[in-house]
Amino acid sequence: MSAESAVERNAERRKRVFVGALPPDFLRISTDTRQQQQESADQQAALALHHQMVGMTYAQNTTGRLSITIGQAKLVKNYGMTRMDPYVRLRVGHCVYETHTDPNGGKNPRWNKVIQCLLPQGVTSIYLEIYDECSFTMDELIAWAHIPIPQAVMNGETHEEWYQLSGKQGEGMEGMINLVLSYTTHVAPQYVYSSVAPVVMVPSVNPPVYGMRPYAPVPVYTAPPAQPPQPHLSEQELKQIEEMFPNMDKEVIKSVFEANRGSKDGTVNSLLQMSE
């Protein structure tokens, strides 16, 4: 076979294969079809409806509002080479709440976080865990506690106490955490979330194991029930208390004032105990 005939045959083959410029969508899978758009919209609508139904069921099965002020903790050991960055994870019924992380809090973290949540029927205790926030590994569980809600709280009293923590050191040997609890049967006109959004958990007979956070329920608005006027803290009184407690968050002061039903002396006493 001559070289000229080989070149001619290759040129003939190229003519058969090459058909001109390729279209812009060559070998691309279209992801923007009408059918796919409709399926995505239906999926979002079904998910929103499911969230609403879960939130409605949860709101209807509650007895009142529980206010939990997470003050500080005194831990017996700092795990790791550096100071720990602790945060608190709290479970009330099937809802989970979290505080912010106290950077370099170590053995004496402070949060002063107020969590207000609806208390489901039949729930008489709360579960609390303290984690060390890690950057490159899973957050480490430091301590935990199962805390029964005192009957005095259910009767309308404000209750503050240091609770024992369990952990690697043993039962009740990991340190203590300071909590202030109060309860009211008068719920706000709508289903109110705290500044920490709750997470609905699937009921389980076994102790809870926390991992990825699922969705939060959609707020469900109901008819406003009759409720007594909330105690009002004047600007002058607030300023006086802030001067007495410069390191205390303003929202914490207001929450403690409401929990003490407008008693200024009771508010000051509760804040003094929290700052000890």
Q: What is the pLDDT of residue 113?
A: 93
Beta strands of 121-169 (E only): which ranges?
Answer: 125-132, 140-148, 159-167
Do residue 249 and residue 199 come from a single domain? no
- Per residue in 49-81, pLDDT tens? 655 555 555 556 778 889 999 999 999 999 888
* Per-residue pLDDT at 234: 77
Would you say residue 49 lies in a domain? no
Q: What is the DSSP string of 2-29?
A: -HHHHHHHHHHHHHHH--SSPPTTTTPP
172 and 260 within one domain: no
Identify the sign of the CA torsion 100, 218, 57, 210. Answer: negative
Same domain, yes or no: 105 and 207: yes
Number of domains in the chain: 2
Question: What is the domain range of residue 256?
Answer: 232-276
CATH code of the domain covering residue 86: 2.60.40.150
| Digitized pLDDT (tens) for each residue of the chain, 276 residues in all | 566 677 777 777 776 665 566 666 666 665 556 677 777 777 777 766 655 555 555 556 778 889 999 999 999 999 888 899 999 999 998 889 999 999 999 999 999 999 998 888 889 999 999 999 998 889 999 999 999 999 999 998 999 999 999 999 999 999 999 999 999 986 554 444 444 445 544 444 344 443 333 334 444 444 445 555 666 777 778 788 788 877 777 777 777 777 777 777 777 777 777 766
* Res 222: pLDDT: 45
The single residue listed with the structure tokens 């003094």 is 272
**140 lies in the same domain as 246:** no
| Predicted confidence (pLDDT) per residue in 79-101, tens digit | 888 899 999 999 998 889 999 99
**72-to-111, 156, 157 alpha-carbon distances in Å:** 6, 23, 21
CATH code: domain of residue 261:
1.10.8.10
The structure tokens listed for 153 are 């709280």
